[in-house]
Amino acid sequence: MLGVLGVVGDKWSILVVGQLRDRTLRFGELHRAVTGISQRMLTLTLRQLERDGLLTRTVYASVPPRVEYTLTELGSTLLDAATALGEWAAAHREEIGDNRRRYSDAHPPRSRS
């Protein structure tokens, strides 16, 4: 179970799945849509999601080759959970930020001697 949670709970996986919500995208489109992800990390994330059956990768014989990514039915079921988690995070963002500030104030970094 932890292996699965590691994949579906991964920041990049959730962002990629969210971008593929109702559409098929090519690699370059995904790379532009997922802000901050490197090409290497996107490649690794897409391979992992494909391996787990959350998306399909379709290669078209053209020059240059065209590759498209689409969520599978299983991948689409992840959207409800990811949306709920995103809504929870948005609803509690300020409270968590306040808690982090209070913690930092009460636990200043230790200096190294």
Does residue 113 lie in a domain region? no
Task: Please determine, for residue 71, whether its predicted confidence score (pLDDT) is greater than 70.
Answer: yes
- pLDDT tens profile 76-98: 998 888 888 878 888 988 999 99
In a domain, 28, yes or no: yes
- Whether residue 99 has pLDDT greater than 90: yes
**Which residues, 6 or more positions from 87, have their beta carbon under 8 angstroms from its beta carbon?**
none
For 81, the domain range is: 2-106
Quick one: CA dihedral 51, 15, 71, 2, positive or negative?
A: positive
pLDDT, tens digit (0-9, with 9 covering 90-100), for 1-18: 556 666 666 789 988 998
Number of domains in the chain: 1
Give pLDDT, residue 5: 66
Enter the pTM of the model.
0.76
Q: What is the CATH number of the domain that holds 64?
A: 1.10.10.10
Question: Which residue type, as a one-letter code, is found at position 72?
Answer: T
- What's 71's DSSP letter? E
- For residue 26, being part of any structural domain is answered with yes
What is the DSSP pairing of strand 55-60 with strand 66-71?
A: antiparallel
Q: Retrieve residue 55's tokens.
A: 């998306």
Instruction: Look up residue 27 and give its two tokens.
Output: 């690699």
CA dihedral 51, 55, 58, 63 (to 10 degrees): -90
Q: Residue 112 falls within a domain, yes or no?
A: no
